[in-house]
Amino acid sequence: MIISHDELKRIKSARCGEPHGLLGMHKCKGGIVVRAFLHDAKTCQLIDLRDPAKCRYDMVMLDESGFFEIFLKGKRKLFPYRLRVERYNGEVRQFFDPYSFMPTLSQDDLYLIGKGDDRKIYCKLGSHLRIINGVEGVSFAVWAPTARRVSVVGDFNSWDGRYHQMRQLGTSGIWEIFIPGISAGTKYKYEILAANNDAPFLKIDPYAMSFEAPPYNSSIVCDISKYEWHDSDWLKFRASANWDKRAVSVYEVHLGSWMTVPEDGHRPLRYTEIAPKLAEYCKKMNFTHVEFMPLSEYPFPGSWGYQVTGFYAPTYRYGTPMEFMQMVDILHQNGIGVILDWVPAHFPRDAFALAGYDGSCLYEHEDPRKGANPEWGTLCFNYGRSEVSNFLMGSALAWFDRFHIDGLRVDAVASMLYLNFSRSDWIPNKYGGSENLEAIEFLKRTNYAVHEDYKGALMIAEESTTYEGVTKPVSEGGLGFDFKWNLGWMHDTLDYFKEDPINRKYHHNKMTFPSMYQFTEKFMLVYSHDEVVHGKSPMVGKMGGAYWGDKIANLRALYAFMWMWPGKKTLFMGSEFAQGHEWRYDDSLEWHLLQYKEHEGVQRVVSDVAGIYLGDKSLSANDFNPMGFEWINADDALNSVFSFLRFDENGKDAYCIVGNFTPVKRENYTLGLPWGGVWKEILNTDSEFYGGRGFGNNGAVYPSPMKVNGRKFGVKLLLPPMSTLIFKSSRAID
């Protein structure tokens, strides 16, 4: 017996912080010692691979738990070997010793990770199929700096943390081991012994790409290397696209409830099933992108995915990671971009995940005034810790790298920006202010990295405050987002449209006020899932009016007004055809409503106005150009009529948009226009084609010289009740 009793005890009891120093092959005084600690091993032989048929040595079992040792006397060099084990059930197998391999992480890796500046951290931490010295297996690496011991456990060792204890790599806080013979599909967790507790506990791998369904939630070794992408044309197009000047109409989707399979128990569609259906539908509706509500792994369906436990993993609910890739690929081949909701603002307290990961407040702040969100009952990330910010930035980059997504819609940015967000008890920053300086720096670094590494990628902020510079480039002191959800516009327009039309004249400013700040940020107009849940009613139910037909007409008019207002667009699924009830995460949309002309008419309006926006680059190219927008009359509160112009960059082509938001048909309504000629009526939401009554202007109007609304030309229009009209004209070249 070469090993000491104390060392043997530490290995047996899984209290060894450096198992590689004791297990495996080592030179010692007078020869070489080889030790192995093996699960369910009755006997063990050491096989010298230089002559495996002859050089076999029986190892001595020093403990019935499976601890074997052999001393080879004399001057010897270390040599390659395998272990031949006979199990108690009679099974015999040979394998390479996990403790015979060098670390899979270099000192440079550890330096970058510690600095928080490793953009490929997901290729180093987590589990990875590797071939080392010709040996196939899986490397495991996890950050747990205060742990006394970390082991990889799984079916391969009967979930016994005494075996496959990991080594700690210096002062990095990272634990690592390479286990030969393990393949893709292996379920595993980390068993951790904390610094201040003798009871080990299990945690998932924060960097895992795949997870088992609850309640077990095991991490799964995943191999996506064999997937062959077919979206090179799309990626080439994306890299050259200037989305500031291109049409962006986003269809927000909850994958599990977009459509179900009735003949199969109303189960949701899988990634591969929804892809062709969604691609076809988006093209029909002229949407340019799909935005999926969070598809990162999450345990509780009722959170809709916003309480994430697997920041690098597509949820198991709809298929495998490779099926997720296929979904993205199919959408790309059909010219549809893919945006994911991403949640770096907080994480749930589930004991199996990030909370108290190594027995300490590792990912969260220790002080609950910074580390907890009382409103949501979740924990907040410690953005000032470099390893934590690197973990989150790596998550963002991994979705672009591994899964070819085109953008991230960053959830709850306001809760990240402010230390006093939903808190009465909070700690000011070092300057005495309420801004979360670490979170601000994290957002800047992440946005910068995404845009530098993935040309044409979109970063969209859900940010509800007046924080300045959300969409200003990082180089100019901004946060670096591409677009910001215009939640003020959303609330103002809905507050207006919920009013009975007879009262709207008293709320006229709700519709005009957004123009005061419209060009202070690069805004995206949005009616999201948040507006059609929790008793808020579906979009059609929000509309004021005494009758169902009036509500439908209101909705048609609102959507046409929305798509012609400057800014990019996002609309939640079901809203485009006037879903009749609130959205339910566990139920399909009411597709059967499309058999009724009123609902089909709303859908047609969305498709047609989105088609106008998509088809004429002069609209999208001037979404953020204040010179491309002019009010014609913003002051007609008495009639509840709004009118404005959208110009191209040269002032040659123009759209005139007129909204009449009362049930009164207005004949001979006088409106000023910038020039004469023909103004074609290219969309009228009161058209019979859309389920309206068919009032209109016979396809075109012809302004004549007169001074109206401060302009040289004027026209008398027929404004149908509850309608939006869109006219288009080109100025004659002088």
Query: Among residues 323, 123, 150, 113, which one has the least CA distance to residue 207?
Result: 123
* Beta bridge partners of residue 673, listed in sequence order: 713
Q: Are 165 and 148 in contact (CB under 8 A)?
A: no
**217: CB partners within 8 A, 6+ apart:** 204, 211, 299, 309, 352, 353
User: Could you say which of 69, 118, 231, 462 is catalytic?
Assistant: 462
Closest CA to 446 of 225, 90, 4, 119: 119
> What are the structure tokens assigned to 53, written together?
């048929």
- DSSP reduced 3-state for 141: strand
Report the DSSP beta bridge partners of residue 135.
132
Question: How many Cα atoms within 13 Å fall on the side-chain side of residue 223?
Answer: 12
- Candidates 659, 705, 653; CA nearest to 680 is 653
Residue 341: helix, strand or coil by DSSP? strand
Closest to 78 (Cα-Cα) out of 46, 104, 120: 46
C-alpha torsion sign, points 388, 391, 392, 393: positive
Give yes or no for a contact between 720 and 695, defined as CB atoms under 8 angstroms apart.
yes
At residue 263, φ and ψ (nearest 5 deg) are -75, -5
Backbone angles phi, psi at 167, to 5 degrees: -100, 150
- The rounded distance, in Å, linking the Cα atoms of 656 and 610 is 16
Query: Which SS3 state, helix, strand or coil, does residue 553 take?
Result: helix
* Catalytic status, residue 411: yes
Q: How far is CA 518 from the centre of its chain?
A: 26
Q: Which two tokens stand for residue 421?
A: 């967000």
Give the contacts of 39 (CB within 8 A, at least 6 positions apart). Answer: 66, 157, 158, 160, 163
Tokens of 333: 């081949």
CA dist 53 to 49, 56, 584, Å?
9, 7, 66
Whether 462 is a known active-site residue: answer yes
- Here the tokens at position 133 are 């010295």
Place of tokens 């006088």: 670
Residue 513: which residues within 8 A CB-CB, separation 6 or more? 492
Cα–Cα distance measured from residue 729 to residue 734, given in angstroms and rounded to the nearest whole number:
15
Distance CA 453, CA 122 (A): 15
CA-CA-CA-CA torsion for 356, 362, 368, 373, nearest 10 degrees? Answer: -80
3-state helix, strand, coil in the chain (%, to 5): 30, 30, 45
Catalytic residue among 297, 358, 411, 438: 411
Whole-angstrom Cα Rg for the chain: 31
Q: Cα 665 from chain centroid?
A: 45
Cβ burial of 616 (10 Å; 0-12, 13-18, 19+) is middle
Distance CA 655, CA 681 (A): 10
Q: CB of 679 within 8 A of CB of 702?
A: yes
CA distance 349 to 677: 65
The C-alpha torsion from 692 through 696 and 700 to 703, rounded to 10°, is: -140
CA distance 419 to 381: 12
Strand partners, 631: 644
CB-count burial class (<10 Å; 0-12, 13-18, 19+) for 533: middle
Q: What are phi and psi of 517, to 5 degrees?
A: -125, 10
Active-site annotation, residues: 411, 462
